Every structure is written in structure tokens, then in C-alpha cells.
């Protein structure tokens, strides 16, 4: 594999790792917001912002953690015939599915950027009684899709190399990727 591809994979995986580790802690922020909401509803007056804030945190958690989940191989796979294939054929099959995923993520990113542009230009707000602006969460969603796209391309290169018998990208998922 060319050095440019090797560097691309290493940099993308290092970035995805850091963003994914940050996203892991958003679940605690969401739990804190929901706990605050339940205490306020039980003992005091309910507040308007907690449910939507928890939803926004969950969206950020999910979207920013997507690339990390791909990197760690934690996505769900259909294992009808795949499990019986030799490792090089699995890598070739993964490279084909990665190519389809890249196409899907490009379309998703296009839609996300279009929706983000609309939200920023028109000052789009939620239709709830709190009515927060939608642009910040749409920016986070588009960024998460972009990271997943970069990671999908990196996985495509890794699977392509593995299917050709190259072991340039051998690395443990236990520790942070090195740059």
C-alpha cells in the first residue's frame, strides 16, 4: 500500500478513536439531565428543556460514536455465510460492503449538510414549547456522518490490503491508534 494511504488510515483512526472516547462520556451527561428532570418532576415544577436536551445528547452520542464503533468492529453483522469464509475472503467481502457503505454515507452527508445549511439560514427551531435552535445538533450530526465516512474509507483500505494478503495495518483494538 502507498504511504499516503497508510498515513490516512492511521490519522483517521487516531481521530476517530479520540472522538469516540469523548462521545462515550456523553451518556453520563444524558443520564444527569434525565435524573435532574425526574427530580424536578417529582418534587418541584417540571422544566421544559430536559427531554429535548437528553434527546440531543443521545443523538450526539450515537452519531459521534459511529466511527469509533466501526473502528472497533462492534457493528452488527449478518452471519449467514460470512462466518464460514476464510479470512482473506471475509476481508474481500468486507471491502465490498464498505464500498456500499461509503456510497450510502456520501448521500447521507449530502442530506445532512443540506439540512444543516437550511437550519442555519432560516434559523430553524424545534416545534416543542422550549423551541431550541436545530442548527447545533445538525452540525454535530453532519460531523458525525463525516467521521463515519472517513472511517469507512479507512476500513475499506484496510480490508482491501488484508484481502490482498498485506498486513500493513495490523493493530490491536485495545489501545489508542498511533499516528
pLDDT tens string 101-134: 999 999 999 999 999 999 999 999 999 889 999 9
pLDDT tens string 7-39: 999 999 999 999 999 999 999 999 999 999 999
Q: Is position 179 within any domain?
A: no
Q: Is position 175 within any domain?
A: no
Q: Is position 128 within any domain?
A: yes
Helix 3-24 × helix 50-72 angle, to 10°:
140
Are residues 104 and 145 in contact, defined by beta-carbon separation less than 8 angstroms? no
Q: Is position 150 within any domain?
A: yes
24: cell is 462515550
Q: Is position 79 within any domain?
A: no
Is the model's pLDDT at 5 over the cut of 50? yes
Are residues 150 and 101 in contact, defined by beta-carbon separation less than 8 angstroms? no
Q: Is position 30 within any domain?
A: yes
Are residues 111 and 121 in contact, defined by beta-carbon separation less than 8 angstroms? no
Number of domain units in the chain: 1
Q: What is the mean pLDDT of the chain?
A: 89
The confidence band for 172, taking pLDDT boundaries of 50, 70 and 90, is: very low
- Between the CA atoms of 143, 148, 149 and 155, what dihedral angle is there, to the nearest 10 degrees? 150
Q: Is position 12 within any domain?
A: yes
Q: Is position 173 within any domain?
A: no
Nearest to 7 by CA among 119, 163, 157, 160: 157
Domain encompassing residue 17: 3-73+85-163
Amino acid at each position: 500500500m502507498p504511504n499516503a494511504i497508510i498515513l490516512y488510515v492511521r490519522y483517521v483512526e487516531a481521530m476517530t478513536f479520540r472522538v469516540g472516547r469523548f462521545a462515550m462520556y456523553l451518556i453520563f451527561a444524558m443520564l444527569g439531565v434525565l435524573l435532574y428532570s425526574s427530580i424536578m418532576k417529582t418534587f418541584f415544577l417540571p422544566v421544559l428543556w430536559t427531554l429535548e436536551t437528553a434527546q440531543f445528547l443521545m443523538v450526539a452520542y450515537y452519531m459521534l460514536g459511529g466511527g469509533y464503533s466501526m473502528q472497533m468492529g462492534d457493528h452488527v453483522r449478518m452471519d449467514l455465510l460470512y462466518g464460514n469464509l476464510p479470512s482473506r475472503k471475509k476481508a474481500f467481502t468486507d471491502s465490498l460492503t464498505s464500498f456500499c457503505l461509503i456510497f450510502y454515507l456520501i448521500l447521507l452527508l449530502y442530506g445532512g449538510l443540506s439540512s444543516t445549511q437550511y437550519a442555519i439560514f432560516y434559523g430553524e427551531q424545534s416545534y416543542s414549547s422550549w423551541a431550541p435552535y436545530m442548527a447545533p445538533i445538525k452540525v454535530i450530526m453532519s460531523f458525525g456522518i463525516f467521521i463515519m465516512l472517513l472511517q469507512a474509507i479507512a476500513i475499506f483500505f484496510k480490508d482491501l490490503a488484508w484481502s490482498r494478503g498485506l498486513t500493513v495495518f495490523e493493530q490491536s483494538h485495545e489501545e489508542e491508534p498511533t499516528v
